């Protein structure tokens, strides 16, 4: 894995040591950020990276100029690696890492974000409810975007706030706006 663009372009992100982490492929990540780049200027925005794993998506956003990223990851060993990666990138002051289950974090979160990126395990049971949890829970700022990676078992084409859903191999990227 590598950073595609921005300040850290070309810099490698260490691979995960956990079998439960499935990083976003470069092709999918490039599609996500091409969509966002065409619509937003990154400076000053905030990002919530759910199921952060290696930090691949949040670090890409930092490289492109967001002001801060909140990473949420439940696995303690993965969180330790993420802390180390953030230190290596020199972005400790721009990140908050939450070592907690995503469902618990979302229940307790009182902050809203400009962008929310979620790459859950494909068998995570709350995937069908996640767009409503995010969009109805005041977690996304006006004008913000929520991006969800999922597999073909789930379809959000009929969701009233899904503006785009496109497959990239096994992964489908669904984009929601308030």
Task: State the DSSP string of 35-69.
Answer: HHHTT---TT-EEEEET-TT-HHHHHHHHHT-SEE
Q: Residue 56: which of 13, 93, 92 has the closest Cα?
A: 13
Give the pLDDT of residue 112: 96
Neighbours of 57 (CB within 10 A): 28
pLDDT in tens, 68-115: 999 999 999 999 999 999 999 999 999 999 999 999 999 999 999 999
- Between CA 81 and CA 83 the distance in angstroms is 5
Rounded distance between C-alpha atoms, residue 40 and residue 92, angstroms: 24
Q: Does domain 26-176 have CATH number 3.40.50.150?
A: yes
DSSP H stretches of helix in 38-149: 56-64, 76-89, 102-108, 130-136
Task: Enter the pTM of the model.
Answer: 0.93
Higher pLDDT, 12 or 103: 103
Residues in the chain, total: 178
**pLDDT at residue number 41:** 84
Closest residue by Cα to residue 43 from 85, 93, 77, 94: 94
């Amino acid at each position: 894995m590598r950073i595609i663009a921005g300040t850290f372009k070309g810099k490698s992100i260490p691979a995960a040591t956990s079998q439960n982490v499935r990083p976003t492929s470069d092709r999918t990540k490039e599609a996500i950020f091409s969509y966002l780049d065409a619509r937003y200027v990154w400076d000053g925005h905030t990002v919530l990276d759910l199921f952060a794993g290696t930090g691949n998506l949040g670090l890409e956003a930092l490289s492109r100029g967001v002001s801060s990223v909140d990473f949420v990851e439940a696995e303690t060993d993965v969180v330790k690696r993420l802390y180390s990666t953030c230190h290596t990138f020199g972005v400790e002051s721009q990140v908050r890492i939450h070592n907690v289950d995503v469902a618990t974090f979302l229940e307790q979160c009182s902050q809203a974000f400009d962008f929310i990126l979620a790459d859950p395990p494909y068998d995570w049971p709350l995937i069908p409810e996640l767009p409503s949890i995010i969009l109805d829970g005041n977690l996304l700022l006006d004008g913000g975007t929520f991006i969800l990676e999922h597999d073909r078992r789930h379809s959000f084409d009929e969701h009233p706030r899904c503006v785009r859903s496109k497959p990239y191999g096994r992964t489908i990227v669904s984009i929601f706006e308030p």
